[in-house]
A and B are shown apart, each in its own frame.
Chain A
Amino acid sequence: MIPWYRRPAWWLFAPAAIIVTVYISANVSTDQIVAHREAAIAASSLLLFVSAPLAGVSAALEAGRERQSRGLLETKTRSELHVLWVRIWPSILSSCLVQLLAIAYLLARAGSAPDPVSWLIPIALCAALVLHSLAGYVIGQWVPTAMAVPLTILLSYVWVAFTWTVEPTQLRYMAGPVMAMCCSPAQKLDSQAPLTLLVFSLIMAVAYLGVAVIGGRRGLKNAVSALPRLVTSLVIAGFAFSVALTTGNGIGVLPGRNLAISELQCASQEPTVCLSAVQIARRDSRDLVGKTFAVFNDIGLQPVQRVEPVPAMITGDVLTSTGTAFVSMKPGMSPLEVVHSAASTYSSQLDRFTCDLQNPQKWFETRYLVQAWLDGTAAKRLLTTDEQEAIINFSLTDPTTSEALKSNLSVLNRLPEHQQAAWITSASKDLLHCKVPIMPGGNAS
């Protein structure tokens, strides 16, 4: 029995836990995971940058010690598998604890959430750590410890970080951290993503196990048994890649899947507003979203009958001709942000132009004027006086143009309401065709 204080995995646990905690505090935005357990757990996959080197390095150190502890005339009494298990279980356990600590901290930052805990992701991440431990052990068996440790860190980092940008995309899911791109509040993780990581890690771990039981250079003395083991390991590694390529087929660049309509919660009002449970977890804004669109319906802008969450990587219209508006909503948005987000649907539709802009600066100025009018008009009916002032400043953030835009906005607001709506409708058409409309006061700018 090796005493715990001679185990590098336990010594490295504390610094790894500190790095993980500091990294999450400094670099992971709460906005991205609030009220969304699945997003929080998936975000922890980025922390493989810390837990995987911990697993690999401590296993490499154990392998080096195992090699050095053997006497020249020592006879084998325990199998290589038994020795390996005794050596690497603290590496696996310690790195898994670091990963679980990261998950717990992220869940705490996410707060209460309506979605259940997704167990497949932590299981897949722990399987990946088994793989990194075995890889570290094999490196430690073959390379002197002083070089095995930095080599393990380097290989771990290269595998975890650089696969993110390579093709085929399944390779990204075999490494794991790409799952951190999951998910917006109206999405859930594609279960194929953690499944690919799990399947690849477990099968590949068996391949590494085959190499590990050769026993390093010393095992090569018995080359007759080493060669078949090596060949078997290579075959298993090939099998691991093939299975993972099949399992991960069709996931795409991002691991999130948009929720189906049946998974949304719809409010019975006119227009019908459907949002996900996560989007309404902190404050149910469906009523305010519905009222915002009702304001514009009453004024006479393009009618909206149904509101849904905007799908990720949307390529079509955000305001369809069939009367569906796609809005971007996060949990816990203030009333001002909700109104701005809903009103932005009309101006976001303008960004879908396909022609060349004749005067880009004027085009964008006019676009922001339209945005400011939409915000102001909805705010006048739905928000407090302070919020009405704030939302205009929110829209006109560019200090170089805000004065001119404010002046045009006040001219527009002095017109009768039906003329305001008519100008916005015609200006929107012009903007969508890349033209700069005549300003409300009649001048060209």
Chain B
Amino acid sequence: MKSALRTRYFVSTALIAIVCGLMAGGALSTLDVGLPTVGIPSIAPTIPFPVIPALIIGVFTHWASTAGELPWMDASSRNIVLHSVAIYTTAWFFGLAAAAISMAVSSENGDFLLIIRDFAGLALMTLGARSLGAGRYAGVIPPTYVLITCFFARSHTGAINSWAWPMDRDPANPIAIITILVCLALTLGNLWRPTSHRNYPWLKLH
């Protein structure tokens, strides 16, 4: 366990997670960041601020938790992938706890459910992509998805399309909930598969 924590840069990961959590729950949690120049010109889309720390935590934690892995470890009987996911999830909880504390201290009228949704949705998207064989490039999926939602979030009536849930401040957005559930199922399914079947060489991008 000690070795797993060391090879996965757990101290740095935990620190980044806490900083991102403090950012997400602090004074900026209610801020909508304008995205100039994309989408329909008359209505510029805005991105709720908690999405940005959720992306940072997702990218960094995924890199850190998988940096020490080698391709053969996917099929190792010691289930090294499970260790990485456990560390990833722990860091995610650290971030969430920091967000809760930050929100309580700053007495900001933010929506904690929204932070949970963004953190869980984007984190599980990485793990879900990994389960489908994206390997170490799984961390790219959430930023790419957010980038695409920036382009196409708004319909011509100005409303936010429901699939572009990172742009939507409604924590109960059904597509967000479906994404979380599907990615959770993929992740759990991958972890509990027989190790000999965990490798998906035909889906490997590297």
Contact = CB atoms under 8 A, between A and B. Distances in A.
Given A46-B37, A149-B143, 4 more contacts: A147-B63, A153-B147, A154-B143, A157-B147
Nearest to B66: A146
Contacts, number: 60
Nearest to B148: A19
A27 B63 CA distance: 35
B196 interface: no
Q: Main SS of the interface on chain B?
A: helix
B3 interface: no
A67 B147 CA distance: 28
Chain A interface bracket (under 10, 10 to 19, 20 to 34, 35 or more)? 20 to 34
A331 interface: no
Contacts of A161: 35-38
Interface in B25-71: 35-41, 55, 59-60, 62-63, 66-67
Interface residues of B, number: 25
A180 B55 CA distance: 29
B20 to A, nearest CB: 14
A26 B156 CA distance: 8
Contacts of A50: 151
Interface of A: 11, 19, 22-23, 26-27, 46, 49-50, 53, 57, 144-147, 149-150, 153-154, 157, 161-162, 164-165, 177, 180
A27 B37 contact: no
Contacts of B67: 144, 146
Contact of B55 (A11, A27, A150, A162): A150
A15 B73 CA distance: 30
Given A157-B147, A164-B36, A165-B36, A149 B152 contact: no
B99 to A, nearest CB: 21
Nearest to A49: B38
B166 interface: no
A381 to B, nearest CB: 36
Interface in B126-179: 136-137, 139-140, 143-144, 147-148, 151-152
A121 to B, nearest CB: 17
Contacts of B136: 145-146
Nearest to A144: B63
A27 B66 CA distance: 39
A26 B152 contact: yes
Given A146-B63, A153-B144, A164 B55 contact: no
B151 A177 contact: no
A165 B59 CA distance: 28
